[in-house]
Amino acid sequence: MKYCLLLLALFVTRFLPAQPYLPNWESLDTRPVPNWFSDAKFGIFIHWGVYAVPGYTTKGGYAEWYQQGLETGDSAKKEYHRKKFGNLTYYQLADQFKAELYQPEEWAKLFEQSGAKYIVLTSKHHDGYALWPSNEASRTWGFGWNSLVTGPRRDLLGELFRAVRKTSVRAGMYYSLYEWFNPLWKSDRNKYVSEHMWPQMKELINNYQPDVFWTDGDWDANEETWKSKEFLSWLYNESPVKDKVVTYDRWGSGIRFKHGSVFTPEYQPDLDFEQHAWEESRGMGYSYGYKREEDAWHYNSSQSLIYHLIDKVSRGGNFLLDIGPDEHGKIPPIMQERLLDIGQWLAKNGEAIYGTSRWKYTSQWSEGKRDYKAKKGEDIMIKLTVNPNPGYAVKEVFYTYRAASNQLYAILPRYPSNGQVVLKNLGINVPINKITLLATGASLSAELRGNDVVLHLPPFDPARFNTSSAYVIKIDGFGAFQPKPTIDIQYQSDLSGALVTLRSPKPGLTLGYMLNNNPQPMVYDRPFTVKGDETIKAYVVASSDKLPGDTAVASVSGLTKLKAVKAPATLKPGLAYQYFEADAMDMNVLTTSSPKQKGIAAVPNISVKLRKEKYGLTFEGYIQVEKTGGYQFFTKSDDGSILLIDDQEIVNNDGNHGSEEKVGRCILEKGYHRFKLLYFDSGGGNDLSVSYQPFGITKTVMDAALFFHNTLKP
């Protein structure tokens, strides 16, 4: 019997495939990002489909959302459609999506010349139209709804993959989990997932074997509905791309920025994920799909896009820059020009981009304020580099680092008019005889002044530079540094304290820390508890062979009691609200624009909106707290929301995103407290709710009995 069991064990071990990635986030999140992606840095997003036929939305909107606007009452889109297409439905536009000028070999050549290392083509967007011969698409919709049986009558995806794979560029695809108006999705979501979505995804993976699988359209259902974890377990363990494919974080409502392989900020240049792989995507204008309404001045300049690339790489991220071909299969010339300009810069300076990583400093700032928020129509990267508003700082230097060869790159957005650059706080061990100007190979003279390095550059000679966008200084044999630890904070349920744990980036390192309320340096040996609001600064203790690492900083907040305020005698139930509209909605609109409507709402909600999307709301008044104690507050919003109590930020759920819930905490004294909620929707779905959880009580939606407003406040 023992012999039989031994043989069975040997058979199982040898012949049955291992399942290292189980269908849970604890296991799936341990899969490393493939090295090729971490080194690639620059990719091209391609949004192409039936929506290229109208190629329309109002300025500031996404043209690929054209159908959604038609079906949900967008008056501008409906009027445009009536004038241009008469009584044709959106589905009938597929016959006008001819792609007769589509030459995938020419696209592939352009992508390689741009310096991009991977592309991501929309296999299908939220309208469900498939750019490959998907039988599921036509069967589920009940009519031909793919590129082989309508319009182009070609496998657009397959042709591009074959062309791209003849170059140095990797081929990837985007896939929308949901489809706005798919009959099966609307009638039976579980059946849609099992009979439509899963077969499509497996067909794409098995037949086209993409290097990138970029999912989207996840926010309308949770991860359980999509069976996301089960799919990823199959993808990582059994699929033909299990060792090379890159995946992302859009796998269900509330998953984004929490789980998944690569995080996906979208038109969010201020987001930073130091401890996690990330990739920001954006268009050259403000759309992903082809958009006729945009003019030349709505596009980012080549200079700006190069700064975007450098900025993201300096902070450890990738840049996925979108193009939107037209219905004929042509990439607009202005987009081609931008890509070629980026490629020209990378041809000389790519060494400072590809295969590099985040250094201990990501950038060096000039004097001034660092919190500039771009206004409508402004280019944020230009404002943060070469054209600041008065009183605001710029990023004078970006840093990237190549660990394998110990090389540091300092990237200058502007060539100094006086020929002098000061690299601050590099220390006294910089090898000043190993510093060169990368584009020309010229050695630079340098001197040490304390901890700073002063570089002397030759007079600017345009004949020696193929671009005037940015200039790279290379320092050989320098830059190795101690990595930064991480700080984990676990709040006690009654908010009486928080347990702080420091985690070393690798074994064998000694960690130190300081507290704001006790600045004496201490050696970390075990988790510790803090009892009030506190700032923790943690670091790896310096060694002789490496530069000191940057300091990790984290705050314990919400443990200081907020005292009740004196309630005005003129309080009445409800919250005062203000309603705003803008084509490019964000938090900035709520503080710089005049409201379109004012009123009183019983609770924070979006029912007072005057249109379906691109609007904002503020709710202001008081909440009544019946008992002194710890409280958690939750905002769930699509897109951004910020909750303040007694003028202190409690929950920050800002940003363009699907329906996400975030939590904050505070200790409140019995009585009244000032309450303010800011919310905006930038397009697509919208959602807003506020819940709270007093210590020891179940979480519940905040109801009307809690809210009051001052009737005398103007």
* CATH classification of the domain holding 273: 3.20.20.80
> How far, in Å, CA of 532 to CA of 512, rounded?
20
Q: Are residues 493 and 627 in the same domain?
A: no
Are residues 527 and 436 located together in one domain of the fold? no
Last residue of a domain, one of 558, 586, 611: 558
**Does the pLDDT of residue 565 top 60, yes or no?**
yes
Domain membership of residue 164 (yes or no) is: yes
Query: Are 585 and 553 in the same domain?
Result: no
Q: Does residue 547 sit in the same domain as residue 583?
A: no
Residues 467 and 616 in one domain: no
Sign of CA dihedral 90, 92, 96, 99: positive
Give the Cα separation of 678 and 655 in Å (integer).
12
Are residues 545 and 459 both part of a single domain?
no
Please list the residues that pair with 320 across neighbouring strands. Answer: 43, 281
Claim to verify: residue 53 and residue 112 sit in the same structural domain: yes
pTM, full prediction: 0.87
Q: Take residue 49 and report the two structure tokens written for it.
A: 């489909």
Place of tokens 């959880």: 693
Is 80 exceeded by the pLDDT of residue 377?
no
Inside any domain, residue 27: no
Lowest-confidence region among 19-33, 158-172, 536-550: 536-550
**699 in any annotated domain:** yes
Strand order in the sheet with 511-515: 518-523, 511-515, 534-540, 552-556
Confidence category of residue 5, pLDDT binned at 50, 70, 90: very low
Alpha-carbon distance of 336 to 339, in angstroms, equals 5
**Number of domains, the chain:** 4
Asked whether residue 7 is assigned to any structural domain, the reply reads no
Instruction: Please write the tens of the pLDDT for every residue from 103-153.
Output: 999 999 999 999 999 999 999 999 999 999 999 999 999 999 999 999 999
Instruction: Give me the phi and psi of 96, to 5 degrees please.
Output: -90, -5
For residue 431, which amino acid is it? P
Tell me the β-bridge partners of 407.
Answer: 402, 476
H-assigned helices in 585-650: 587-592
Looking at the fold, whether 614 and 666 belong to one and the same domain comes out as: yes
* Residue from 174, 37, 55, 159 nearest 107 by CA: 159
Domain that holds residue 490: 486-558
Contact 423, 452 (CB under 8 A): yes
Burial state string for 240-265 with b = 16 or more CB within 10 A and e = fewer than 16 = ebeeebbbbbbbbbbbbbebbbbbbb
Structural domain includes residue 361:
no
Position 714 scores a pLDDT of 52
Verify that 492 and 583 share a domain, yes or no: no
Q: What is the mean pLDDT of residues 468-473?
A: 92
Q: What CATH code is carried by the domain that includes residue 692?
A: 3.90.182.10
| DSSP character string of 464-491 | G-S-SS-EEEEEET---BPPPPEEEEEE
In a domain, 565, yes or no: no
Answer whether residue 651 shows pLDDT above 80. Answer: yes
Q: Are β-strands 212-216 and 170-176 bridged in parallel, bridged antiparallel, or unpaired?
A: parallel
Percent over 70 (pLDDT), the chain: 97
Domain limit, last residue, from 524, 558, 592: 558
625 and 646 Cβ atoms separated by less than 8 Å: no
Say which CATH number the domain at 444 has. Answer: 2.60.40.1180
- The letter for the amino acid at 155 is D
Grade residue 226 by pLDDT with cuts at 50, 70 and 90. Answer: very high
Percent of the chain residues past pLDDT 90, beyond the cut: 80
Query: Does residue 546 sit in the same domain as residue 578?
Result: no
Q: Residue 117: inside a domain, yes or no? A: yes
The position carrying tokens 């089960």 is 230
> Same domain, yes or no, for 509 and 637?
no
Does residue 25 form part of some domain?
Answer: no
Given CA atoms 173, 179, 184, 188 in this order, what sign does their dihedral have? positive
CA distance 411 to 244: 31
Q: List the CATH number of the domain containing 495.
A: 2.60.40.10
Residue partners of 146: CB distance under 8 A and separation at least 6: 129, 130, 131, 132, 133, 134, 137, 138
In degrees, rounded to 5, the angle at the alpha carbon of residue 589 between the alpha carbons of residues 584 and 592 is 140
d(CA 394, CA 412) in angstroms, rounded, equals: 11
Q: Quick one: pLDDT band at residue 530, thresholds 50, 70, 90?
A: very high
Predicted pLDDT of residue 17: 53
Asked whether the predicted pLDDT for residue 1 surpasses 50, the reply is: no
Q: Does pLDDT of 6 surpass 50? A: no
Among the three residues 558, 582, 609, which one is the final residue of a domain in this structure?
558
Taking Cα atoms as reference points, which of 640, 637, 672 lies closest to residue 656? 640
* Tens digit of each residue's pLDDT (9 = 90 or more) over 600-645: 999 999 999 999 888 999 999 999 999 999 999 999 998 899 999 9
Cβ-count burial 384-398 (b if 16+ within 10 Å, e if not): bbbebeeeeebbbbb
Q: 516 and 388 share a domain? A: no
Q: What 3-state DSSP class applies to 217? A: coil
Beta bridge partners of 45: 120, 322
**Phi and psi dihedrals of 458, rounded to 5?**
-70, 160
Lowest model confidence (mean pLDDT) among 4-8, 213-217, 309-313? 4-8
